[in-house]
Structure 1
Amino acid sequence: MPRKGTSTVFFKSPSPTRMTHPSSPLHHTFSESLMEENIELADFSITKWETDVASLFSDKEEATQYLVSIKGLQKAMQYLAFHHPSSDKLGRAQILMQTAMKRLEKEFYQILKSNRAYLDPESVSAHSSSIPSVSRSSISDFEEEDFENELRDEHDSIPEVERMSLAALADLRDIAEAMISAGYVKECTKIYKTIRKSIVDEALYHIGVERGMSLQQIQKTEWEVLEVKIKTWLSAVKMAVKTLFYGERILCDQVFSISAPIMESCFTEISKEGALTLFGFPENVAKCKKTPEKMFRVLDLYEAVSNLWPEIESIFSFESTSAVRSTAVNSLINLGDAVRTMFTDFKTAIQKDSTKTTVPGGGIHPLTRYVMNYVSFLADYNGILSDIFADRPFTIPSALPESYFGSPDQEESISSPVSVRLAWLVFVMLCKLDGNAAMYKDAALSYLFLANNLQYVVGKVRQSNLNFLLGDDWVIKHEQKVKQYAANYERIGWNKVLASLPENPTAEISTDQVKDHFRKFNSAFEEAYMKQCSWVVPDPRLRDYIKISLARRIAPIYKEFYEIYGGVQARKEFWVESLVRYTPDDLGNYWSDLFYGSRSSGSVSSSSSGGGRSR
């Protein structure tokens, strides 16, 4: 039953036959009047801007009224289409809607083009949290003032450039919502896709992402040229993912927040082609010919894709962009396979090294420098290599002693997949050096060679991440071995010198025996010195260690013998001047010249100078 007083206000006294639905005819009339009013308001607003060349969205109040009038016109069209499909008013409303959509198309295009600088991905991604999520056309007249005040308060605290970016985004979202709601999806998205795809493609080009680099072209590219392209790609990929594609995803999310399917379609068409080109490059590089010198660039590519994978998975999360995710994953798989192959090839190259010449003076072998530099660089990729060799246990070949890798019971035993493999490479190289040492005809020089090279290995381990991977126990064991090699060198290289002196230098012996000892010492010392003054010990610590060790072994014995039989008190003997050539201090001076690899540093005096050196 109608409320009291209602019939007297809106209706005449109803007849008995119409009492069942007293308000129905009047309700229709009221709805029709509202719809007609909507059409009239839309006609005024749309016609007003039909030929105006100024930007509608430069005036926020006008833009809001325009969008509200379109929303009202849409309601009127829906009402008329249902209740009066043949009405002339419906045709008039449709023409107005077409006019409005053309205007919005123009505004949408202009905003996208003129605000390009404010809609760059970096700005959008940096300030995505500040973007209002409410559309202007979705608020009521009662809420409009509060909404504008809220936006004004928020924007007052934001710098001008960011404010322009947020304003452009809000306008684009309002236009997109209006056009999509009115059924103009194709017109709206065509403009958006065309403009934004050109921007993304241009940005990729400027940061160095090349299009059209097929596998065949990459395989034919010289490594030096390809390496430059890899460096360019490495500097570009982070920006492309974290800024360009991420910002574009946010932009699509905001502009087409009214429809997830439309947003997905736009983002996919804009970004998919460029993303496939971006992530297809490392996959193709991984398929090229694999040589050890390419290892580190391949590792760089793997690391870049691996580090960016969470963002890739999030940004390209749609089913329609699954090909991008698959390409990135395939890049990781192929790059990992390439690294494992090159690792094995590197080991094989060490084993097949066919260098037959010896290093002058027993210095550092080129193989030692190359391998240790290579392995120490590999140690810097420990985390990446751990991923690549995960679930691929390494079995120590039977030829390798388990003690080399440490006891399983020891805390510092080498057990990680990366540590074991790197220790294995070093061991293979050391075995090769043993063979190179055998090429020296002088046994003392071969041991000096081994001491030098192992000292270089230990030094490289200590100065790099290998120290962490191989552990202190490994370093201590090999330092001890260096000392063993040095001791063998001293024993063989200076045994004749030491043997020329009496076992007990203070014991009383005959003059003939004294003469014999001095003759033998002079001969042995001069022979050892002249032979070894061209030998080298590059490491200063090892060089000092050997010199001190030599002095401790020989100098005290010679000093005692000299002081009794060759010193001042013995100078009265005529033979002393000719046979006692060196004072104890002379020995230290001569030893100080050793291991620099130059015979010109000094020469042993052959004259009876009573001690000292001739220069």
Structure 2
Amino acid sequence: MPYKGMRSLFFPPKASSSSISNFPWPSRTGLQNPNSTPRRLFSDAFMDRTLEIADSIIMKWNPDTSTFAKVTSLFYENRREAKEFIKSVNDLQKAMHFSASENSNSDKLGRAQNLMQIAMKRLQKEFYQILSINRAHLDPESVSARSSLASTRTSTSDYEDDDGPEDEIRTAGDSISEVEDVSDVAMGDLRTIAECMISSGYGKECVKIYKVIRKSIVDEGIYKLGVEKLSSAHVHKMDWEVLDLRIKNWLNAVRIAVKTLFNGERILCDHVFAASESIRESVYAEITKEGASILFGFPENVTRNSKKSPEKIFRTLDMYTAIADRWPEIENIFSLESTSNIRSQALTSLIKLRESVQTELSDFESAVQKDSSKSLAAGAGIHVLTIDVMNYLSLLADYSNILPDILADSPPPAKSSLPESYFDTSDSEDFPSPAISLRFAWLILVLLCKLDGKAKHYKDVSLSYLFLANNLNYVVAKVRTSNMKYLLGDDWVNKHETKVRQFALSYERLAWSQVIDSIPEDPTAVTTPEEVKDCFKRFNSLFEQAYKKQSMCIVLDSKLRDDIKVSIARKLVGVYRQFYIVHRATVARERNLEPVVRFAPEDLGNYLSDLFFGTVGSGSSLSSSASSQLRHR
């Protein structure tokens, strides 16, 4: 028996109305003989005195014999008497053990046992009332806000210290709010009652009350967070929009449940049942197992039974992140052997989510490779496949911190499958994960290969190159403005920007070279009037044809659009201006000038500025407009 217990047994506190210090203490020899008369006398006298004190306070609060005791709470009505009540029960228990070992008067033991049963009934009532009345003050959020149980200083010792003022329940500082103070008092009272009942052999009754009330709080908390137990069939029948909403609710729920609900319940349970590790374990497991199983089982249910959807991988990654980020907390909160099944369920969901991401990513790559659509982008613009794939990859890159874990055992494509000029698989620190960088590079390469195939469906080769320039430029822009930039690096971006310019130059050469070449290499060279007229006519015809065809083209990116137009103008307008200035006078004597010279140099710039917006031009309007402008020069 601990030293403190021995002191309580042989030296009752000053608070007692009388003392047993004048009892006939047995001699040292008498104490060594369990059958000695002095020891028996002491045992009987000690039991009599303990029964007298216990009977006085226990019967006062017997709800079966007192209307006052039936409708009043001992711990709220008189905290001083609550301390005395607990102390008398503890003393009574000690006296019963001592007397039983001495084979003392069985009548006295029977009376003591009767008082003990009445006291336990009272404490059961108090325990239930404190739990029920203080639901708001004992909510998991309030309890979990404490950094540790050290901040909750009310304990059994508070009720054994009679030196302080009546309302001094703890040594909390002035900074503790009123709500926290009430919560601390309630937690201290619950712990004191639980320890008293457990030590008296009535722990089962105390635990039953606690389980019923606190389990209902956990289950209600899970329900209020929007998480319900769903059957596999129910999940499978759900439309994606409905399931997506459920997943969003779950993501919010798991954050609150781990940080607040389960953590708060663990702190409260550990505090109330601090006297017994086995009781703590069994009680916490019982009140949380159903709610935790529903919460942590939801992701597994989704991965196994939900319908396929392009957005599913991102929700799967969100759920994986939600559990993975909180795994240390989950392991800590459910560290008990009795809660190992909860840890196992959370880990199973994590594994299933991981496998689901791997499968969905593989399915995505396969879908891109198998794309057989022959539809062409209007005006050689950006293909819908390019938009879908790059949007997908830019979102996927947001999860680059967890993808290495998920794809750790999923081998990346071999380096030999990537052209060396396409992607440098260096081990630079700029790449957080070379394997993931390679995976993104490979997926983009798969897309670009499909785009190369689609470009061949354009009958005009120049449009094929414009299509490639448009789409590769879109790819580069998406990489540059997303986390893919950090995965692929600046070298990748620079190399592919160069390829965009090369595609654009190839388009210019094929689409406009005939127009440019229609002007003599030396525009100032002396030539005959007929040759000048033929040159103007040939230029007019070729320019009109090129303009009508290229006016249908689209370049959505403003910088790329301006770069192409400036490049064309630089090669075309300058040489045409020289030819125009030198040779216009040669044909000026012609009565019908308009069919010969249709465009002034300034006109070319104006027409070129209208290109690549997808507006179809008409030859007649272009010619008449140019002729009208020439009349006023």
Q: Same fold (TM over 0.5)?
A: yes
Query: Which runs of no fewer than 5 residues in structure 2 stay unpaired?
Result: 1-21
- Equivalent residue, structure 2, for 1:377: 395
Residue 75, structure 1, aligned to residue 94, structure 2: yes
Residue 492, structure 1, aligned to residue 492, structure 2: no
Letter of the 1:465 counterpart = N
- Equivalent residue, structure 1, for 2:17: none
Question: CA-to-partner distance for each residue in 1:553-612, whole Å, 9 max, x for gaps?
Answer: 111111111110015x86345465431111111100000110010126994215882755
Choose the corresponding residue for 1:445, options 438, 441, 463: 463
Residue 119, structure 1, aligned to residue 131, structure 2: no
Choose the corresponding residue for 1:555, options 537, 557, 573: 573
- Equivalent residue, structure 2, for 1:172: 190
* Contact 1:279/1:327 (<8 A) preserved: yes
Residue 365, structure 1, aligned to residue 383, structure 2: yes
Choose the corresponding residue for 2:342, options 305, 324, 333: 324
Which one is further off, 88-97 or 444-453?
A: 444-453
Aligned equivalents of 2:487 and 2:209: distance in 1? 56
- Equivalent residue, structure 2, for 1:36: 48
Aligned equivalents of 1:19 and 1:199: distance in 2? 53
Choose the corresponding residue for 2:85, options 49, 66, 69: 66
Q: Provide closer, same or farther for how the CA distance between residues 515 and 237 of structure 1 changes in structure 2, counting only shifts above 3 A.
A: same
Aligned equivalents of 2:31 and 2:602: distance in 1? 137
Which one is further off, 196-205 or 222-231?
A: 222-231
Choose the corresponding residue for 1:260, options 277, 290, 300: 277
* Contact 1:605/1:613 (<8 A) preserved: no
Residue 197, structure 1, aligned to residue 215, structure 2: yes
Residue 136, structure 1, aligned to residue 136, structure 2: no
Question: CA-to-partner distance for each residue in 1:484-532, whole Å, 9 max, x for gaps?
Answer: 1100110000011011010111222222221221111111000000111
Aligned equivalents of 2:72 and 2:30: distance in 1? 55
SS in structure 1 at match of 2:401: helix
- Cα displacement (A) at 1:424: 1.1
TM-score (norm 2): 0.89
Aligned equivalents of 2:258 and 2:32: distance in 1? 67
Residue 283, structure 1, aligned to residue 283, structure 2: no
Instruction: Give me the identity figure in percent.
Output: 55
Letter of the 2:357 counterpart = V
Aligned equivalents of 1:310 and 1:445: distance in 2? 56
* Contact 1:414/1:471 (<8 A) preserved: no
Question: CA-to-partner distance for each residue in 1:90-113, whole Å, 9 max, x for gaps?
Answer: 000000000000000011111111
* Contact 2:285/2:339 (<8 A) preserved: yes
Query: What pairs up with 1:214-229 in 2 under 5 angstroms?
Result: 214-229=231-246
Query: What pairs up with 1:340-359 in 2 under 5 angstroms?
Result: 340-359=358-377
- Equivalent residue, structure 1, for 2:528: 510
Question: CA-to-partner distance for each residue in 1:231-263, whole Å, 9 max, x for gaps?
Answer: 111111111111001000001001001111101
Q: Provide closer, same or farther for how the CA distance between residues 174 and 155 of structure 1 changes in structure 2, counting only shifts above 3 A.
A: farther
Letter of the 1:435 counterpart = G
Choose the corresponding residue for 1:232, options 249, 253, 268: 249
SS in structure 2 at match of 1:599: coil
- Cα displacement (A) at 1:362: 0.8
SS in structure 2 at match of 1:144: coil
Query: What pairs up with 1:357-506 in 2 under 5 angstroms?
Result: 357-396=375-414, 398-406=416-424, 408=426, 416-506=434-524
Aligned equivalents of 2:593 and 2:379: distance in 1? 35
* Contact 2:468/2:503 (<8 A) preserved: yes
- Cα displacement (A) at 1:292: 3.7
Letter of the 1:231 counterpart = K
Q: Provide closer, same or farther for how the CA distance between residues 309 and 378 of structure 1 changes in structure 2, counting only shifts above 3 A.
A: same
* Contact 1:292/1:343 (<8 A) preserved: no
Q: Provide closer, same or farther for how the CA distance between residues 502 and 413 of structure 1 changes in structure 2, counting only shifts above 3 A.
A: farther
Root mean square deviation, CA, Å: 2.7
- Cα displacement (A) at 1:39: 1.4
Letter of the 1:48 counterpart = K
Choose the corresponding residue for 1:48, options 60, 68, 83: 60
State the aligned residue count.
Answer: 598
Letter of the 2:346 counterpart = A
Query: Which runs of no fewer than 5 residues in structure 1 stay unpaired?
Result: 1-8
SS in structure 1 at match of 2:422: helix
- Equivalent residue, structure 2, for 1:246: 263
Which one is further off, 45-54 or 569-578?
A: 569-578
- Cα displacement (A) at 1:70: 0.4
Letter of the 1:81 counterpart = A
Letter of the 1:238 counterpart = R
- Cα displacement (A) at 1:221: 2.3
